[in-house]
Amino acid sequence: MLGAIIGDVAGSYYEVLEVKHLKEYKTSRPYEERIKILDRNVPLFDDFSTYTDDTVLTCAIYDAIKNGNCDYKKYLKEYGLRELELGKDNFNRARFGKGFVKWLTSDNIGISYGNGAAMRISPVGYLFNDLTTVQMETVKATIPSHNNVEAITGAMAVSTAIFLLRNNKSKEEVINYLKEDFYDLEYNLEELQRNNRFSSRSSESVPVALYVFSISTGFEDAIRKAISVGGDSDTIACIVGSLAEACYGVDENLKEEVKKYLNDDIINLLNSYYGEKEWKK
């Protein structure tokens, strides 16, 4: 869960740059700009970095499992509506997409095929202890707002990978499993850095995140590579971060650094999972 949140916060500023460039120039950000983040001397976080809906809804799923008898719809609505009341975010944007807001404020069934389920699903992969339950709970956590086969597939790929990684499967074994059961993951990093366009569609962004994780060499490397491919940067980095945590653990310096961008409620939730001693290492 913490890995997902670090990815979200780190990617938030770069997603704004991606969207701004696309609106102004009708093209993706230049390759030369995107790959600057690969330089370890470039800070992972910016003064304007912030948690986004990815973090809020990840916390909602965690809280639903730990304290809410897995009533995912109730907790997603409660967290979402509470966040909505805060108004615009640090970048003067709405805190959720229009489709999710429509779901939050109505009794409609959500049929989105977006990546919003995959970005929030990491607690399911971490908190349940057999693969069948992980996959069943993934469906339950996804369908309230994303009752669509694309969204369910994306979320299932992420939660399954997390479960396998935390149960001592190697990265190579997990990637092979994903290729056999979910996506082919046939990408090239430089090609993505040059040409990847913004998309929040699950079938277009989740496989990119899985590929980036597959070529990572450590936690921070995974987050930087995720941001370097552009597109929906906060969500791609969020998904990559959730996988990277299960594979590598979280770099100690980033545990402390990300706190500056989180509110007390989020920090208290993290403490309840990781324990204050582990969180403060």
Residue 9 confidence (pLDDT) above 80 = yes
Model confidence over 104-137: pLDDT tens digits?
A: 999 988 999 999 999 999 999 999 999 999 999 9
Quote the domain boundaries for residue 39.
2-279
> pLDDT tens digits for 20-39?
999 999 999 999 999 999 99
Residue 45 in tokens: 């976080």
Amino acid at the residue 192 = L
pTM, rounded to two decimals: 0.96
Indicate the number of domains in the chain. Answer: 1
**Cα(3)–Cα(42) distance, rounded to whole angstroms?**
19
| Mean pLDDT, residues 227-250 taken together | 98
Question: What per-residue confidence (pLDDT) applies to 276?
Answer: 52
Nearest to 100 by CA among 78, 116, 87: 116
At 83, which amino acid appears?
E
Which of residues 211 and 93 earns the better pLDDT score?
A: 211
Instruction: Kindly list the distances between the CA atom of residue 197 and the CA atoms of 28, 29, 160, in Å, as whole numbers in the listed order.
Output: 6, 9, 26
Domain CATH number, residue 115 = 1.10.4080.10
pLDDT exceeds cutoff 90 at 91: no
Phi-psi sector, 91: left (phi>0), alpha (psi -120 to 50), beta: alpha
* pLDDT above 80 for 19: yes
CA distances in angstroms from 139 to 43, 84, 158, listed in the order given? 37, 25, 12
- Point out which residues pair with 111 in neighbouring strands: 146
Query: What percent of the chain is predicted at pLDDT more than 90?
Result: 93
For the chain, the distance separating the N- and C-terminal CA atoms, rounded to the nearest angstrom, is: 17
